[in-house]
Amino acid sequence: MPELVRLGERVLIVSCLIYLTGTCYNLFPLPVISGIQYLLYGLVFLLVLARWQRTINTAINDPFIWLLLTLAVLSSLWSNVPGDTFSNSIVAWQTALVGVYLASCYTTKQQLKLLGIALIIVIIFNFIYTLLFPGLGIDSEVHIGAWQGAFDQKNFLAQIAVLSSLVFLFLCIIFRKYRYLTWTGLFLSFVMLLLSTSKTGLVVFLSIVGLLQFYRTLRWRNPRSILILTLIGLFIASVVVLLIGNAELIVTSLGKDITLSGRTELWNGVIDQIRQKPWLGYGRGGFWNSESNMSEIVGSYVAINFLVPDAHNGFLDLTADLGIVGLILFLCSFIFAFQRAFVYARLNFAPEALWHLTYLSCFFLYNLTESSVMKHNSIIWTVYMVVSLSLNRKDSQKKVPKFKSDFSYN
């Protein structure tokens, strides 16, 4: 019986992760999607209650996340769409339940296994969906020939493909016994990334693979040299993503494009509007909505009658919603998580010990050109929470017994 219960929990978590990829949003009517959402989150809530002590012990590993989520709820007090802000903030809390449950009940290896199962199901489904319905799964209007699968656009598919490629890269290294399965997963994920034709996704993934070479130096004795190399590597990767990834055109709701210079004007427009409400922002979801007309106002910085859906930068979008206070809370969360991941990777020789540092780097790079910070119903944000909450402040300072690392590309 206990085995069946544990199996049921894993099936539930995999189902939640599949839902959080967003691959099913266009497949069913909104009432059905809402029903699935509340069913999954309701069951996870019961599991969290059943393990409330473990959940609390895990949650305190990153208090800044919970302060940020609380600020999101409170922002309904000054939002111009308080109802939408409150409901979106509640969904963000529901998403957080999945993150804290995964972090509190599963090891890093188990988390990667569950992520791998969910993501390969999504990748295979999108292959089948696109081959069966090419008119829906392949863009024939803007990015002609680009695969988008069951998603609204190719960039959403590319995000999932990047995450899946990264997860299976680690699974290939950790589980040599199942190398045929893990390498197949990596191959399919990378092929899907190529079919999406997303330059940003490809640049981010290749940059992360390059950063892994820097992170392998974490076994050096000189911590100052290690930290400098790590920061230099992340900085170089950021520049590459900004210069090459931004060369990809942004398609707006009007089907027009923004080049690199146009994206800079877009960011200038967002910053000008942030100056109007710098400290607490416009409320969660209060900036990019029909009531504020920010899509038109910010779009006018690029061209007349130009509409944009977001800032194409996670840090700017967060600041627009929750102000400098919200940005500071997130940066505190990220910096402390990065510091603990750095220490943990340096003191632990298991290959999965580099996962936290690698994902945090990937999350940072992606948010230079996309928006994933505190995005509700998003697997990208959920995995960030899992990584941050899994890094125990005490454990990250402990040195575990050494053994020969098999983290090698040779």
What tens digit of pLDDT does each residue of 325-361 get? 999 999 999 999 999 998 898 888 888 999 999 999 9
Q: Go through the chain and tell me how many residues it has.
A: 410
Lowest mean pLDDT among 57-66, 109-118, 287-296: 287-296
Q: Considering its fold, how many domains does the chain have in total?
A: 1
Rounded to the nearest 5 degrees, what angle is found at the Cα of 96, between the Cα atoms of 314 and 109? 95
Residue 402 lies in a domain: no
CB 251 within 8 A of CB 156: no
> What pLDDT is recorded for position 17?
98
Specify if 292 maps to a domain: yes
Q: What pLDDT, on the 0 to 100 scale, is given for residue 249?
A: 46
**Domain that includes residue 306, residue range:** 2-397
Contact between 344 and 396 under an 8 Å Cβ cutoff? The reply is: yes
pLDDT tops 60 at residue 246: no
pLDDT at 289: 85
Is residue 404 domain-resident? no
SS3 track for 31-95: HHHHHHHHHHHHHHHHHHHHCHHHHHHHHCCCHHHHHHHHHHHHHHHCCCCHHHHHHHHHHHHHH
96 or 256, greater pLDDT: 96
> Rounded to whole angstroms, what are the CA distances from 80 to 270, 285, 296?
17, 9, 17
**Residue (of 34, 159, 9, 30) closest to 90 by Cα position:** 34
Residues 6+ apart with CB under 8 A from 347: 396, 397, 398, 399, 400
pLDDT grade, residue 61 (50/70/90)?
Answer: very high
- Joined together, the tokens standing for residue 232 give 């230099």
Whole-number pLDDT of residue 404:
40
Residue 225, pLDDT score: 66
In whole angstroms, what is the distance from residue 12 CA to residue 35 CA? 15
User: Residue 69 CA to chain centroid, in angstroms?
Assistant: 16
Average per-residue pLDDT for the chain: 87
What pLDDT shows up at residue 254?
39
Structure confidence at residue 405 (pLDDT): 39
Residue of 179 and 228 predicted with greater confidence: 179
Residue 180 located in a structural domain: yes
Predicted confidence at residue 267, as pLDDT, reads 87
297 domain residue, yes or no: yes
pLDDT of residue 400: 42
Say whether pTM exceeds 0.95. no
Collapsing DSSP to helix, strand or coil, 251 comes out as strand
CA distance 348 to 402: 7
In the chain, the N- to C-terminal Cα span, in Å, equals 43
pLDDT attached to residue 256: 42
Which pLDDT belongs to residue 401?
Answer: 39
Spell out the residues 6+ positions from residue 283 whose beta carbon is closer than 8 angstroms to its own.
Answer: 75, 76, 77, 78, 79, 80, 81, 82, 85, 321, 322
Q: Does residue 382 lie within any of the structural domains?
A: yes
**Mind listing the pLDDT tens digit for each residue in 71-94?**
999 999 999 999 999 999 999 999
Per-residue pLDDT, 110: 96
> Hunting for tokens 């690392």 — which residue is that?
405
In a domain, 54, yes or no: yes
Residue 32 inside a domain? The answer is: yes
Q: What percent of the chain has pLDDT over 90?
A: 64
